[in-house]
Structure 1
Amino acid sequence: MITSVQNEKVKQWKKLQKKKFRDIDQQFLVEGYHLVEEAISSQWNVIEIIAVEDAEIPQNISSLPVTVVTTNVLGAISNTKTPQGIAAVVKMKNNAWKQWKKIICIDQIQDPGNLGAIIRTADAAGFDSIILGDNTVDLYNDKVIRATQGSVFHLDIIHYSLNDAVSKLKKDAVSVWATTLEEATPYNQVTIDEKIAIILGNEGSGVDESLINLADHKVKIPIYGQAESLNVGVAAGILMYRVAEFS
């Protein structure tokens, strides 16, 4: 059992709380029974399990190395107020470009809760892929991972320049929607094609103009009350379920 937070292994785990070291090691931490089980059942490369002595170890991890730690040690590497007693170190997954049919493109979204919610909703709505553009919050940020509730393990998620990605999607006969309020068509009046990509923009500035100009359709969600706009996660859900309903 590891009992000291000064243990070299613990120090290595703690480094994974920072993007710099996650990128160097190509590893990240997940916490809690649900996320650990999702990582394993989704066949990601789980490197090791970290658990307190009395934790209930899921049966499907019998072949994985388990490091037992004290509650104090787990608390030192955890980003949650009440750790569940189990965590895992997981290898990042580098997905390749594929011929997807339903795609979300993320343009500089900064809030981890928003990105996590979008990934979770994309999974629920039957989307295939998330393309993360430059200056978007780190996918492996602990708040993003928690907000996905395990959906991060179910989708093809890649990092790609969105200008290049949109051009490539159009060559793949994907109809590209850009969300904007200017000169846009209400989302429920746009034809649902067989292949669709939806570009969602930064919480403050929206979708970059260069991407809007590349899109096949400018799409908006009408505002009937006095709010200036919708939260990007909510808007994403409305658009994705519109596509799911007719595809």
Structure 2
Amino acid sequence: MITSVKNEKIKTLKKLHQRKYRKQTNTFLIEGSHLIEEALSSNWITKEIIISEEVSVPETADNLPVTQVTKQVFKELSFTASPQGIMAVVEMKKDNAVNGEVVVLLDAIQDPGNLGTIIRTADAAGVDGIVLGEGCVDLYNDKVIRATQGSIFHLPILHAELEAETVRLKQSDYTVWATALEKAENYKKLPVPQKTAIIFGNEGAGVKESLLEKADERVTIPILGKAESLNVSIAAGVLLYHLKN
């Protein structure tokens, strides 16, 4: 039982709240029983469980190292105001190639909630993979992970330079759609390609021009009311379900 927040192990774990230490150790923290069960049932490597003194270790984690801490120490490590008393250290997964019928490319998505929700939505819609371009918020940010509700563990997520990835996908017979507000076609008026790579852009600036130029089609969702635009994660939901169903 670790009782002090000054304990060296606790200091080391607390450093995983910072992106640079996550990158250095190739590990990240997840918190809460649901996320931990999702990690344990996936092909990601869970390295360690940390539990508060009043919490039992899940049966599925029986073979893993367990660190028990007091409520006060756990609160120091927790990302939330009302901790569930269980977290885990998970090893980052090496990037995989993404293939399949529908691939999502994300250009500088900066809001953690948006990125996490897009990943969750893509998982729900049956998308085959996601490519994160430069400028995207850290995939292993706690707010991103919580917003995915475990979907981070369900589908390939690749970090890549989007212009090069767009070229690669076009060479592999993908039709590239890019979302845009101007000079764009209503998505419902276009035939659904056999293989689609769809680019969603930054919350404020949209898809950058160099990527728009590489797209086969610029697509838009009609705005029927007075809103200027749709939130990017909502737009992703509309278009991904259209492409997959």
Question: Are 1:15 and 2:15 an aligned pair?
Answer: yes
Q: Is the 8 A contact 1:39 1:153 kept in 2?
A: yes
Q: For 1:99-118, what aligned pairs fall within 5 Å after superposition?
A: 99-118=99-118
Quote the residue 2:148 is aligned against.
148
User: How far apart, CA to CA, are the structure 2 residues paired with 1:202 and 1:219?
Assistant: 15
User: How far apart, CA to CA, are the structure 1 residues paired with 2:213 and 2:159?
Assistant: 21
Q: Deviations over 1:72-111 (max 9, x none)?
A: 1111111111110100000000122143321110100100
Q: Helix, strand or coil for the counterpart of 1:68?
A: strand
User: How far apart, CA to CA, are the structure 1 residues paired with 2:88 and 2:119?
Assistant: 21
Quote the residue 1:4 is aligned against.
4
Q: Is the 8 A contact 2:98 2:129 kept in 1?
A: no
TM-score, normalising length from structure 1?
A: 0.97
Q: Is the 8 A contact 2:98 2:158 kept in 1?
A: no
Quote the residue 1:238 is aligned against.
238
User: How far apart, CA to CA, are the structure 1 residues paired with 2:123 and 2:201?
Assistant: 19
Q: Deviations over 1:158-211 (max 9, x none)?
A: 100000010001011111110001211101111111211110000000000110
User: How far apart, CA to CA, are the structure 2 residues paired with 1:26 and 1:101?
Assistant: 30
Give the deviation of 1:212 after TM superposition.
Answer: 0.6
Q: Unpaired segments of 5 or more residues in structure 1?
A: none
Q: Helix, strand or coil for the counterpart of 1:236?
A: helix
Segment drifting more, 190-199 vs 228-237: 190-199
Give the deviation of 1:56 after TM superposition.
Answer: 2.9
Quote the residue 1:29 is aligned against.
29
Q: Unpaired segments of 5 or more residues in structure 2?
A: none
User: How far apart, CA to CA, are the structure 1 residues paired with 2:220 and 2:75?
Assistant: 44
Aligned pairs, number: 245
- The amino acid across from 1:133 in the alignment is G
Quote the residue 2:229 is aligned against.
229
Give the deviation of 1:4 after TM superposition.
Answer: 0.6
CA-based RMSD of the aligned residues comes to 0.8
Q: Deviations over 1:33-84 (max 9, x none)?
A: 0001101101211010000122132211111111111111111111111110
Q: Helix, strand or coil for the counterpart of 2:163?
A: helix
Quote the residue 2:93 is aligned against.
93
Q: Is the 8 A contact 1:99 1:172 kept in 2?
A: no
Q: Identity over aligned residues, as a percent?
A: 54
- The amino acid across from 2:33 in the alignment is Y
- The amino acid across from 1:132 in the alignment is L
Quote the residue 1:165 is aligned against.
165
Q: Deviations over 1:187-241 (max 9, x none)?
A: 1111111211110000000000110110111100000111100000100000001
User: How far apart, CA to CA, are the structure 2 residues paired with 1:7 and 1:194?
Assistant: 56
Q: Is the 8 A contact 1:107 1:202 kept in 2?
A: yes
Q: Helix, strand or coil for the counterpart of 2:244?
A: helix
Quote the residue 1:174 is aligned against.
174
Question: Are 1:41 and 2:41 an aligned pair?
Answer: yes
Q: Is the 8 A contact 2:99 2:129 kept in 1?
A: no
Q: Which runs of 4+ in 1 moved over 3 A?
A: none
User: How far apart, CA to CA, are the structure 1 residues paired with 2:88 and 2:203?
Assistant: 31
- The amino acid across from 1:77 in the alignment is L
